[in-house]
Structures are given as C-alpha cells and as structure tokens.
Chains A and B, each alone.
Chain A
Amino acid sequence: MKRTLLVLLGLVMILATVGAQGSQEPQKSGPVTLKYAFWGNPDAIGVEQDIIKAFEEKHPDIKIEPIVSGYADYHTKLMTMIAGNMAPDVMRIDDYYFYDFIKLGAVESLSPYIQRDKIDLNLYPKMGIEEATVDGQIYGLPWGTAPLYMLLNLDVFEKAGVALPSLDWTTKDFERIVRSFNPQKDKVYGFAIDTNYLSSVLPHIWSKGGTLLSEDKSRYTGDSPEASSAIQMLADLYKEGYMPKDTINSGNTEALRRWFSNGTIAMMSGSAQEILAIQKIEGIRFEAWTMPQAMNSKNTTVFKSNTISISKSSKQKEAAWIFTKFLRGVEGEDLYVRAKRFPPTLNIAENWALYLDPNLYPKQIKQNSELIAKEYGHTLPLRTGYAAIESKVIPAVQSAMLGTKTAAQAMADIRGDITKIIETNSK
C-alpha cells in the first residue's frame, strides 16, 4: 500500500514537472503581442477594450493584451511587475508617480520617436507635455489631462440666495461665500475639502501667494507666511463649523460626492472623473469653475495629467510606439471623448461637440476648461518623493484643522522631514 502511495506521489510529481516544462514552449511567430497596463473601473475598462479593438482592426499584426487593475493598487502592481522583469510594453502612469518611475529607469524616452515621426506636440496640452518632460526628454504622451475644478452646486447657491462667484474670484471672495452659508440653521455648508490629496490643498496655498516647494522643487516653502495663512484660513473655516466635520476624515472621500449631490455642500474640488459620476445623478445642476485666485496670479487651478509611456525593458518598442501614438493620437482621443472617459485633451476644438451633452451640467465646462488651460492652470509640484512629501503635509494640514497646532507651527514642524525627503530623492 505504502509502496503504491509512493509510486503515485512520484508519478504526480513527474507529471507536474512535465506539465510545467510544456508550458514553457518557445513563443510562436506571428502577430506581435503587446502588454498594455492601465487602471480603471468596469466602465473605463469597456472604453479601453473598444479602443484596443479599433487599434487591432487597423493593425492586425499587433495584438494588445490588457493588464488592468483598480487605481488603488495599480502603481504598486506596476512597480512589482517591472521589478520582476514582467514589465508591460505600454503603461499608463499617474503623474503623481511618474518621476519615481523615471528616476528608477523604468521608462523609455519618447523624444527620438517624436522627432523621427515629426509628431506635432502643439496638439497636446502644454502643461501635459511639461509634466512628461524630464531633463529635456519626453517620457510619455499626456493622457486625461484636465483641470481639478471647483464644482459649484447651482441649486444650493440659489436656495441660499448666494450669488455665484466670477471666474476671477479671489481667496477673499471664497472665504466670504463659504461664510455666507449657515450650517447651524440650514444644515448646508459652503465648502468641503478632500484632505487626502495635496492637489485639494495646493490651490488655496497658491491663492494666498504661497507655494509648497520652490520653483525648481528643491526646497520646502510650505511654512512661508503666505502658505501658512492659507492653511490657517481652511483651519478656521473648519473649526468655526463652515465645513462638515467629516471633511477631515481621509477615509471618507466618497462622502464629498454624496454631500455635493444631496445639497449638503455648495462647493468642492473635483476632477473630470468626479463630474462624470455626478452627472449620473438625475436633475443635478452644477458648474465646473476656476479655483479662487491670488491678487497677483490667476494660476491657481490644478491642471493634472497622466502619461502613456513605453517600458525601457520592452522588447517591442517599435510596436509599442505605434500603439502609444494611436492611443494618444487623434483616433484614440476621438474614442475616449465619444465614450466621455474625459473631456477633450488634445487641442482639437471640434472634439467638444462629441463630449458635450446639452442636457447635462456643467454647461460651461468647455469655456471654463479652455480658460483654465489658457490662463488659470497650474501644474502640481511633482517630483521624486512627491507621495512621501504628501504624506507629511496632509497630517500637518489636519493638525491645523483640528486645532492641535496653528497652521504656522504645523507647516514649520514638517520642514525637517520634507527637506530630508527632498535630499534623499535628489541623489
């Protein structure tokens, strides 16, 4: 019996070994297969599949194997795949992490391809190309470049009898409008902020004339009187009850959209994705606006991009470039915009007609987006270690809002940590 068991076990192991060897057969010749990594929810995945289908019809010799993940784990998975020599050929990278990927040598420069194929860079948003450029080399083509708008709930404004701000509103106007609402009486708040992201806080710092990092991003400047006063303004509004208490809960980001949709808050910052989600709520009337501005500068609305890049380790770079060009060229853009994945990002005015639905708000999104791109936009101070810097600033902002420290103290206390992060990541 035992002998039989041993023989059986041995057989199983031999079969397993043979099976494993069988799966390592050499790659067949035929169409090139590219791995394309991106994040997205089920709707977004559908859009990507349509684009992949359109590409494969046009290029039957190139097959695309999608590698998809939810956003939360996407960059971790991407990094692990690259480290494990399983890098996708083409990948989408959020610009929050873009510089880390560049520093680690994971991304191929596209400059030679762009020059060779005479790609017209004027087609792309200027700020998107700026974010994709490191040391004069362009490492990706912009994807989903769009502002982080201030979203205004028109019904809430009307009901409270508060006039909408102008597009040139200042931080003083912002504070006045937030204080025009009476949460104690009406249970309606003027504003709520997503304290998860620096991109929600930075416009307020800029609107007071401050910055988080110096222009060359090599020094911390978030403890300047201007930057501190912006954080103090947010803290005062919070402590005085003009923002919902839960606005400080980083785990409650979904709540912002809920509050905005059910009329609990009048204003929140929101991306193009946020707009798509809010549009699904029947009857909601809202607008996408500029962020409040400083007296001496209009550039306070975050203009945020992502990039489509090619892996340095890709063995099929030429095919990967053909796919990247399609994805971020006129044809890819057309499909993205028709599917309303994001507002038009290429400088093709006619594309707005594909995106806009005259029955849906925000009705001024075209004019305001173009204005933001032209006059009001500001790129994030992205650099290597941005996520680590963010992890220091957010708790500091929360401390100020909780009143455990003044904004000046809180922002000064993280100077050492941020300086160290900058030094470590500048090596």
Chain B
Amino acid sequence: MKHGEGLAAFLFLLPNILGFLLFSMIPTLASFGISFLDWGLLNSPSFIGFANYWELLTDDVFWMALKNTAYYSFIKVPLNLLLSLLLAILLNKQLHGRNFFRSVAFLPSVCSSVAVALIWTPLLESSENGLINHVLSLLGINIIPFLVSPVWAMPSVILVGLWKELGYFMVIFLAGLQGIPRSYYEAASIDGAHSMDVFLHITIPLISPTTFFALTTSLIGSFQIFDLTSVLTKGGPANATNTLVMYIYQNGFQFFRMGYASALSLILFITIFIITLVQNHYSDKWVFN
C-alpha cells in the first residue's frame, strides 16, 4: 500500500463506520447495559443485576415465543430453500414466457410484509368467505381454521412467509445456477450421466456457496419474524404465533419495560449468533470452494 492510501481508504470508509458505530454497535452495547436495569424510558433507571434474566427463566410467554420463533424458522427455512431452488431450476430452463414467470415469482418479495399480510388475512378466513376455504369446500374439503387454531396458525404464517420470500431466493439461486460453467454439464452429458446424477453431483455442490448464503440470511431473517405475525394474527390465538421480536416490541414499547426488552434482545442475539457460528463451523463439510 502506498503512502496515503490507507488514510484515503479510512476516510472513504468513515461514513459507513460511523453509521455502523452509531446505529448498530453502540445501541447493541447499550442494550446489553440496559438489560441490567429497571427502566421505563422516562423514569430514572435503577440497577437490578440479573433480575431481568431470572425473570426470563420463569416467563411462560418468553418460552412460548422462543418455541414459536424456532418452529417458524426451522420449518420455513428448509422449505423456502427447497422450493426456491426448484422454482429457480424450473425458470432457468428455456420456457415460453420465462421472464414473465420470473417477474411474477419475484413480485411478492418487493411488496411490504404488511401489505402481504393484509392481502392474505381475508384469503385465510376460516369460513367459506375465505377464498382458500371456499375453494376447498368446493372440493368437498372441510373448512380449515387457518389463523384461529393454535395448530394451524403458525403453518399459515409460514405459508404466507414462503409466498413472500420464494421469489427473492429464487433469484439468488438463479444467479448461482447461471454461474455454473456449461462445460461441466457437457462433460457429464458426453459421459452419459443421468439427469439426477448431474443434479446431485454437479448442480448441488456447485451452488453450495449460494445455498450457504441463502441458508444463513434466511435463518437470521426468520428469527427476526415480526411484521407478518403482527398483522396476520397479532401473536394469537392464545400466543400461538407470538414470536421473540414481537415480545421484545410489546415489552419495550407497549409495557415500557426497556430493561426486560433488552434482556430479550440479548437472548435473541445470542441465539442467532450461536446458530450462525454452528452453520459456519459445518460449512467446510458441505460448501464447495
């Protein structure tokens, strides 16, 4: 590096570094400190040690929210990856109207989650007034209590989440698929490889970096699920779709318990951090470099 280049690089990076420090790093550290306080935003904060964390251990709603968040993430993410990969493979073929279908598939991901949830709420009504149940009833299938049964509510939220995100991850996988050199497929074809073997031994390994990226970002995003459940179900019925971020929001901005909300945030941060570490650790075993 020539003299002065380091300083120039630093100055160019400075706005971003400042933004990161001001809006991410310092608030994260402050949140860690606040988690040891009893603080209602306007009153004087008082130090209460680990009391917020002890309270978490006996808070049924916290455990339920954690379970719901894990349920949403660990069911939605694999389905999301699988379906978006299949969609990408389909729309990577030479089809009539391919670009149109790609655009249609991508459209939901540019809609706001609130708009998506508002569209789906009446579709998922648990009577014949709901479009999906109306169609099911025409087929002789009983009404499904999509958003009103604790059993069905979370799968319904997952369904809406999938609909919204498939297009985005389809584009990611399309980029991955198009990055695979054609020569590999030609060589496999000359060797007489079966199409399933080509998929399993060429496509899957060569898009593994893309899959790893999609898995990591999708899982992190899923653990932060808030907007969809907030509009679709408001965490109900009976907390069946209450998630960690929603519970953080409720404690912080509805009950004005900043200390407790910060403790919850830290737990969420640690959970995501551990999952990401585990993913990174095992990535060597399946991500093609």
Residues of chain A whose beta carbon lies under 8 Å from any beta carbon of chain B: 2-3, 5-6, 9, 75-76, 79-80, 82-83, 100, 103-106, 187, 195-196, 244-246, 248-252, 254-255, 264, 385, 387-388, 391, 394-396, 398-399, 401-402, 404
Contacts and interface: CB of A to CB of B under 8 A. Distances in A.
A9 B235 contact: no
Contact of A248 (B43, B148, B231): B148
Contacts of A399: 238
B42 A245 contact: no
A264 B237 contact: no
Nearest to A183: B127
B278 interface: no
Most buried by B among A5, A246, A249, A399: A249
Nearest to B254: A387
Interface string B145-162: 101111000000000000
A83 B236 contact: no
Interface string B217-243: 000000000000011111111110000
B179 interface: no
Given A9-B11, A404-B150, A249 B42 contact: no
A251 B234 contact: yes
Contacts of A106: 42
A264 B149 CA distance: 21
A397 to B, nearest CB: 9
Contact of A251 (B8, B41, B121, B253): B121
Contacts of B204: none
A251 B236 contact: yes
Interface in B51-105: none
Contacts of A254: 121
A314 to B, nearest CB: 15
A387 B147 contact: no
Given A248-B148, A252-B121, A395-B236, A5 B41 contact: no
B122 interface: yes
B192 interface: no
Contacts of A76: 253-254
Interface in B185-233: 230-233
Contacts of A388: 254-255
B143 interface: yes
B23 interface: no
For chain B, give the interface size range: 35 or more
A250 B253 contact: no
B150 A249 contact: no
A59 B43 CA distance: 35
Given A250-B233, A387-B254, A391-B250, A82 B42 contact: yes
Main secondary structure of the interface of A (DSSP, over half): helix
A249 B233 contact: yes
B282 interface: no
Contact of A250 (B117, B145, B235): B235
B19 to A, nearest CB: 14
A395 B7 CA distance: 58
A387 B232 CA distance: 20
Interface string B238-277: 1100000000001001111000000000000000000000
A196 B130 CA distance: 21
B112 interface: no
Nearest to B252: A76
A100 B256 contact: yes
Given A251-B117, A388-B255, 10 more contacts: A2-B2, A80-B41, A246-B126, A250-B233, A251-B147, A251-B233, A254-B121, A255-B121, A399-B238, A402-B148
Given A245-B145, A251-B117, A251-B121, A395 B5 contact: no
B236 A104 contact: no
Contacts of A105: 42-43
Contacts of A246: 125-127, 130, 147-148
A76 B7 CA distance: 42
Contacts of B5: 2
Contact of B237 (A100, A104, A250, A255): A250
Interface in B4-44: 4-5, 7-8, 11-12, 40-43
B283 interface: no
Given A3-B4, A255-B122, A387 B255 contact: yes
B90 to A, nearest CB: 33
Given A83-B41, A195-B236, A251 B256 contact: no
Contact of B8 (A2, A255, A387): A2
Nearest to A313: B42
A239 B21 CA distance: 53
8 contacts: A104-B256, A246-B127, A249-B147, A251-B232, A254-B121, A388-B255, A391-B255, A398-B237
Contacts of B126: 244-246, 249
A288 to B, nearest CB: 25
Given A104-B256, A264-B129, A395-B238, A402 B150 contact: yes
